[in-house]
Chains A and B, each alone.
Chain A
Amino acid sequence: MKQMKQYREFLVPLVVFALAAFLPLFLKTYYMHIAILILIWAYLATSWNILGGYAGQHSLGHGLYMGIGAYASTYLALEFGLTPWVGIFVGMAFAAIAGWFVGYAAFRYGLKGAYFALVTIALTEAAVYVVSNWKAMGGAAGLEVKYLGTDPFMMQFDSKLPYFYIILFMTLLAVLTAQWLNRRRFGYRLIAVRENEEAAEAMGVNTLGTKINANVLSAVMTAAGGTFFAQYFTYVGPRVVFGEVVSVQILLFAIIGGLGTVWGPLVGAVILVPVAEIARAELGTQFQGAHLLLYGGVLVFTMLFMPNGIVGLAKSIRARFGKTPDDTMSVSASEGGAS
């Protein structure tokens, strides 16, 4: 019985994603593209959320790991014909190393809050200039994934359907990971670090190790998203996958959806990406940047009027009407962000 209860928490994500697997039956190609975009950003935001939401360390430089994943698999495929199915793991390994170093350096010297945000932003911006000047990586022009038509071995498809299922599966894994953290010791340690680092340390939590591990896990997951991004768009460029703008986009959906919640990043992406994509499609030729304008507006609105995001807002409404929220992770961003 106890066993059953332990696994019940995974049931909701499994059912939701199983239902989502039937979506292609109803969606035209263009809407499939939007569905894939939603999942890409939901996946990346969920990965970021482990470090930013759960552990409370707001990285503004996750483009670094996304870029590492995207460039590693693309470069290895172009240069050595290595399949991205393997390249994705190479990228994740590199991201793990990078994530460890960044985490160790930043947390070892006690960087918190704004200082951590600034270091990560500097790293991803530095990466832009390193890659822009790196001939083998295509310099400022970036790298193009060689077009092979449909070639499952090289993770390339002419139809959107396989891409949809790949990213759906990846997002499911990410959500399950978040759900798993909700009830496991490592997850509790992350929250403890976020809520009160000194107290956590006093209780015997190895806060440095916890934060580094969170950074590595988050980086590895983000890098896998980078590889998928490169395969789907068949192009990587320094500012496309590295840099401040893409880094802000990664965390946007987690913040708007609900920091430190399992479903927040997905909810944020489901609501925002379609609107932004339609804005881009309708206005993009005339008004470049219309979708980012929208993102900025929503971010400001969220911070002013619902700092706990959509999921946080829903929970506080539920709590007001007497129902107890079942999700113990629902700690408000206004507490969570403090450091």
Chain B
Amino acid sequence: MSASLPPVADQGALFRRLRARLARNGLRVLLETGRARLVTMIATSAFVAAFTFGVSLYLFNELRVNDVPFKGGIVEALFDLLFFTLGTMLVFSTGIILYASLFTSPEARFLLCSPARADHIFATKFQAAVAFSSWGFVILGLPIFVGYGLISGVPWYFYALLPLFLLGYVILPGSVSAAGCLLLVRYMPRNRKQFFALVGLVLAAGALYWLYRVGLGFRRSVATAGREVDDLIGQFAAFRSGAVPSHWMTRGVMAAARGDLTGALVPLAQVWSNGLVMFLIAAFVARRVYRTAYDRLSAFGRAKKIYRTGALDRVMDALVFYLDKRTRVLVVKDFRTFRRDPTQWVVLAIFGLLMLFGASNFRQYAAADLAVMDKYAISLMNLCGTSILLCAGLSRFVFPLISLEGRKFWILGLTPLSRDQLLRGKFAFAATGALVVAETLILASDALLGLPGPGLVLHAVAVAVIALGLSALNVGLGAYLPTFKETDPSKIVVGFGGTVNMVTGLAFLVAVIGLMVVPFHVVELAKGATGGAARAGPWVYAGVPVALLVGAAALVLPLRAGARSLRRMEF
């Protein structure tokens, strides 16, 4: 016999209140104890937005100088490509975040054991995932279109409609991604590895073929004139169909730019209405399959895997040959932990491949006498990108190492290993990895770009100083400002010590690049602009010794402070 039916809560309102309360409390804590973190977040976002705005202004100005019509076919094709690319990125990023929050988070497990309805759990997780994944989209998208508006001269409502367009657009890819994620988990074939490998291969092959066709069309259109431009635009035809949401965005934005308000509002309504309908479909799918998908994912179990020492471990062991045996064992242990967790290195791998792909393409464009982009500007961007990636990567993975070690320090305490050796081991691990990755990326991309010898040497030295300095900063400050109570490395990174480390690291790499590399590039760019009239004096290299001193300070001071602090610690 059934018990009486329990009352039903208004769960929509309940979860809205929960989100509001979490946001309010989170903000209060941030203002009370994490101002440095808040300022860093705002400053970093402002810096990225300002940089994007500056590049956009420059590129749109180039279009004006070359008499390309601002409201015509070429710009429209570029916007189509931009929206399509950003939409695709949103699909993947929202899907990944949503997968983690729906299927692996303790909160999802807690809510699934309660009477919370599956579609309400989904909706609350969806909103968080979309807000998180679209942050970058807004930070990058707004400056590009504001830059476009300023250069091309648009009516006021172009700016007013921009946020509505961008906010509306994140719902549709997010919903598609959410529904796809749920259905994939629910109906995924049992041999997941083979399935994903096949899908990945098909997507990669398609993308490479398309990029090849675009590259071909681009070279032809620059080398010649006339019909070939149409050929190039033709490569984007698939994104320009009236059925593709990214094209609704382009149509709306372009209509607003032309002063056609009605023409802008219709695509805007199309973007919002389709996004909201797709969200309802995704919520319906969640209601039907979320719980069974969760069960199915658990029921897969984990295949038994035997882990052994790999060839890469032996390479790492050989690279730190100068250390004593015990410290080497520690370094190889850290490296093994790192390589067995793909989430730690996959971003690095993707970035590296994209950078090399871009540099290789640039060489082909240069061969076709394409002087739109300068190799000095590109190589400087590569250097900055690699340095920022090093800074972010080391802060995320190396800074928390000592804090995490602290909880089980008694294990290390029982081994015949001094605390100085422990710190040296962490530094050797970080510095070896950072040097190998950064030097490989910079030297390979510079060689592909055809950068001359002095530039190549300068970059190699600069990136070595940055890799060693950042490694020492992260290891030293990690020991100086540890957080032993926390077991989640991502929380250690965003704590006080992590924020200080991130800000110091960013300041350090700005100083090294500014002193050592920027003057050289400024002169080379000036040479290009003046047809070789500008001359490089010895002052171009005046910053190098200063940068080396800054690098030496970054290498010695944090490690010394960290070692002193570690020796004093009681566990």
Chain A partners chain B: no
Chain B: residues with CB nearer than 8 A to chain A?
none
